[in-house]
């Protein structure tokens, strides 16, 4: 079911409902019976049409037929509630395949109901079928334009789609050079994020600017809005290196309820700081970093390294001794400088 198909169904249902009400108002009861018979033939699960049919049949003295219409309407409502319970239980158990099937069945029988579309969208998104999930939530919005659940999820899924494209272009391409550079690439979580800033507006893969200030380094998004700061000790180290002539670029790797994480790359090392590593690392062993989030495949795993926990860093710029990492935060591999101090 897409929004266009739903629009056709709802428009016809609304039109015939209005026609039936007008016929009843003017005492044209047999005509009202005919309209509602047409509606239940189009959709055998239209409870309201059965109720209107019962009302019209009573008016022309067909009480037995009216009783049957009312009883079938009650049966349909009971069936809908039972299926709804199964759908909710399936979601609670994370049985998304069953949730998709049962909510799709409910929609086929009761396409005017709001909640099955929201539940179907959730189940589809859990299975990674984001395009279909967005279609389901769009149908929910067609029924209820102010549905907060549908709005929130469409926004989230659209950002996820942009994220995937961005990762494929921005992170997968430029990120591979990040991995291959020992001590020249680091991942860190931002601090001092503004309270009124919505981090869900940020897209993984997008570039950010590092701005050196008196007591650290602030991070600005692509709109020039401050989104947070680098952890103080790492900021002090990078600030000194920047003052010494180094340059850096950065990209968002994740943004959500857990905070904002960025990946920083040393793009130029000044010859006077050729022996000063931007991100000292312990050794070339596999780091506990979600490679999929960065756009890397399993073949890149051997290039990841243990990361330094910058919250415990009390070193100064140029201290290239071995550290004992607590939280994986640095990516490393091998690279070299040319004679001008530019990274290969």
Domain identity same for 176 and 130: no
Residue 227 inside a domain? The answer is yes
Rounded distance between C-alpha atoms, residue 91 and residue 116, angstroms? 12
* Alpha helix positions (H), 204-282: 232-243
Question: Can you tell me the mean pLDDT for 168-174?
Answer: 44
d(CA 303, CA 241): 25
Instruction: Determine the average pLDDT of the residues in 60-84.
Output: 93
Rounded Cα gap, residues 88 and 24, in angstroms: 38
Which of 34-38, 40-44, 191-195, 222-226 has the largest mean confidence? 34-38
Note the pLDDT tens digit of each residue in 185-238: 888 889 988 888 877 677 767 788 988 888 788 999 877 888 899 988 888 889
CA distance 114 to 145: 11
Q: Is 321 exposed, middle or buried (0-12, 13-18, 19+ CB in 10 A)?
A: exposed
Query: In this predicted structure, what is the pLDDT of residue 123?
Result: 92
Domain of residue 7, CATH code: 1.25.40.10
Question: Does residue 222 belong to any structural domain of this protein?
Answer: yes
Q: What's the rounded Cα separation, in Å, for the pair 243 and 248?
A: 12
| Averaged pLDDT, 156-181 | 52
| Dihedral angle computed from the Cα positions of residues 119, 122, 126 and 128, in that order, rounded to the nearest 10 degrees | 120
CATH of the domain at 255: 3.30.70.2330
β-pairing, 207-213 vs 330-331, is unpaired
Question: What confidence tier does 344 reach under pLDDT thresholds 50, 70, 90?
Answer: very low
In order of 176, 206, 208, 293, the CA distances from 168 in angstroms are 11, 11, 17, 11
Considering its fold, how many domains does the chain have in total?
2
Coil/strand/helix, residue 39 = helix
Q: Cα separation of 47 and 70, whole Å?
A: 9
Reported as a single tens digit per residue, the pLDDT across 84-140 is: 999 998 988 889 999 999 999 999 999 999 899 999 999 998 888 888 999 999 999
φ, ψ for residue 58 (rounded to 5)?
-60, -35
Residue that wins the pLDDT comparison between 3 and 323? 3
Torsion angle of C-alpha atoms 129, 130, 135, 139, degrees rounded to 10: 100
Look at residues 146, 180, 203 and tell me which one is the last residue of a structural domain: 146
Are 206 and 308 in the same domain?
A: yes
* Residues 176, 131 share a domain: no
Domain-embedded: residue 49: yes
Quick one: 208 and 295 in the same domain? yes
Q: Write down the mean pLDDT value for the chain.
A: 76
What pLDDT was estimated at residue 148?
86
Q: So what's the pLDDT on residue 182?
A: 56
Q: Supply the range of the domain harboring residue 308.
A: 168-331
- Report the pLDDT averaged over residues 232-255: 87
Same domain, 121 and 186: no
Number of H helices, E strands in the chain: 11, 7
Check whether 167 has a pLDDT greater than 50: no
Q: Report pLDDT for 23.
A: 94
Whether residue 31 is contained in a domain is answered as: yes
Contact present, 190 and 232 (Cβ < 8 Å): no
342: DSSP letter: B
Q: Are residues 88 and 32 in the same domain?
A: yes
Q: What is the mean pLDDT of residues 138-158?
A: 87
**pLDDT value for 164:** 53
Tell whether 340 is covered by a domain: no
Domain co-membership, 63 together with 203:
no
């Amino acid at each position: 079911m897409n929004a266009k198909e739903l629009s056709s169904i709802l428009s016809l249902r609304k039109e015939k409902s209005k026609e039936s009400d007008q016929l009843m108002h003017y005492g044209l009861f047999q005509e009202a019976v005919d309209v509602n018979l047409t509606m239940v033939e189009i959709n055998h699960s239209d409870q309201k049409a059965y109720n209107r049919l019962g009302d019209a049949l009573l008016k022309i003295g067909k009480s037995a037929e009216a009783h049957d219409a009312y009883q079938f309407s009650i049966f349909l409502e009971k069936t809908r509630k039972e299926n709804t319970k199964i759908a909710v239980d399936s979601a609670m158990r994370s049985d998304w395949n069953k949730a998709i099937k049962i909510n799709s069945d409910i929609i086929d029988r009761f396409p005017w109901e709001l909640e099955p579309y929201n539940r179907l969208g959730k189940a589809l998104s859990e299975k990674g079928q984001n395009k279909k999930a967005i279609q389901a939530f769009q149908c929910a919005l067609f029924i209820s334009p102010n549905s907060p659940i549908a709005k929130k999820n469409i926004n989230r899924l659209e950002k996820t789609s942009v994220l995937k494209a961005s990762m494929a272009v921005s992170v997968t391409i430029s990120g591979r050079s990040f991995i291959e550079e020992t001590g020249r690439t680091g991942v860190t979580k931002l601090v001092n994020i503004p309270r009124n800033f919505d981090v869900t507006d940020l897209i993984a893969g997008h570039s950010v600017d590092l701005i050196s200030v008196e007591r650290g380094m602030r991070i600005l998004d692509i709109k020039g809005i401050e989104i947070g700061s680098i952890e103080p000790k790492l900021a002090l180290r990078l600030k000194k290196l920047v003052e010494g002539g180094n340059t850096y670029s950065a990209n968002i790797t994740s943004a959500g309820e857990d905070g904002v994480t960025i990946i920083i790359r040393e793009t130029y090392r000044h010859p006077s700081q050729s022996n000063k590593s931007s991100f000292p690392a312990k050794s070339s062993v596999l780091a506990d970093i979600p490679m999929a989030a960065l756009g890397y495949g399993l073949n890149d795993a051997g290039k990841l390294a243990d990361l330094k926990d910058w919250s415990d860093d009390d070193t100064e710029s140029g201290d290239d001794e071995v550290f004992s990492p607590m939280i994986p935060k640095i990516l490393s591999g091998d690279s070299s400088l040319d004679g001008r101090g530019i990274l290969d």
